[in-house]
Amino acid sequence: MNVIQRFIHQILTQMLNAMRTDPTLYKDLFSTTWGLSDAEVAGIVAYFAQHPIKVAHGFSNAEVQPPLMSITLQAESQSDFMLGDLAGINTVAPPGWKGGGMAQYGAYEEGAIWEYSYRVLCISENLDVTSYMYEMAKAALILGRNTLIKHGVLLPTYTGMDLAPDPRYIPENLFARVLGVRCKCPFILTDRASALGRAFNVSGLAIPPASENDNGGVSTGVLVESQFTEKFRV
């Protein structure tokens, strides 16, 4: 499970707990924002008081009964590459360091920017209930956008659609609406000299001992700057 997925879970859970504790938040969302009648909002409050929304990870939720918000990873891929995979040098101050200037310790950071797509499936036995849940999830993630950014998530954007029933994942008698979450986030590994970095070092490459160069005696013909300027000096 990706760390970003946990942040999404945290934001949704925090929103639902707040609405459960203070039912007037339902009115703020559904009456003030969407213009629903007081009677309908009262019905929403009563329904979710009797049927609390669960938040879970993944498709395998046979033991979790709707209403349910299920978070899944739809796709991830490298989107932005760093030269040589080098993300810079992370410098830290040693324990007890009281001097000025830069810290004395440094470690190379390697990685890339990854793009992620998540789906929040809002599932219930009633179409209206599913649409209410969808709006609650959307409001939570819009209001929680700064929380994602604070944790290093870049450019979170949201999309939505209805999901056709698929018996492999969702029973046909349920209604599902999907809130899509797209974002980017650096994936960084620190210091190839660490235990984790050394575990992936390649060793034992065969280089012919008779070769003058690593590539089998082929000379590159590259001159360093001092040789170049001396050779072609006018």
Q: For residues 184 and 69, what is the distance between their CA atoms, to the nearest angstrom?
A: 22
Please report the pLDDT score of residue 170 as a whole number: 73
Residue of higher predicted confidence among 143 and 100:
143
Residue of higher predicted confidence among 202 and 113:
113
Chain centroid offset of residue 179 CA:
15
Residue of higher predicted confidence among 9 and 58:
9
pLDDT in tens, 153-163: 999 999 999 88
Query: Where does the pLDDT of residue 222 fall: very low under 50, low under 70, confident under 90, or very high at 90 and above?
Result: very low
Residue of higher predicted confidence among 102 and 154:
154
pLDDT in tens, 51-77: 999 999 987 556 678 899 999 999 988
Residues pairing with 117 in the sheet:
75, 182
Q: For residues 30 and 48, what is the distance between their CA atoms, to the nearest angstrom?
A: 14
Q: Averaged over 137-144, what is the pLDDT? A: 95
Query: Where does the pLDDT of residue 96 fall: very low under 50, low under 70, confident under 90, or very high at 90 and above?
Result: low
- The per-residue pLDDT of the chain, averaged, comes to 77
DSSP, collapsed to helix, strand or coil, labels residue 199 as: coil
Q: Averaged over 30-53, what is the pLDDT? A: 94
Please report the pLDDT score of residue 47 as a whole number: 96
Q: Please state whether the predicted TM-score (pTM) of the whole model is above 0.85.
A: no
87: tokens are 């993300």
155 Rama sector, left if φ>0, alpha if ψ -120 to 50, beta otherwise: left
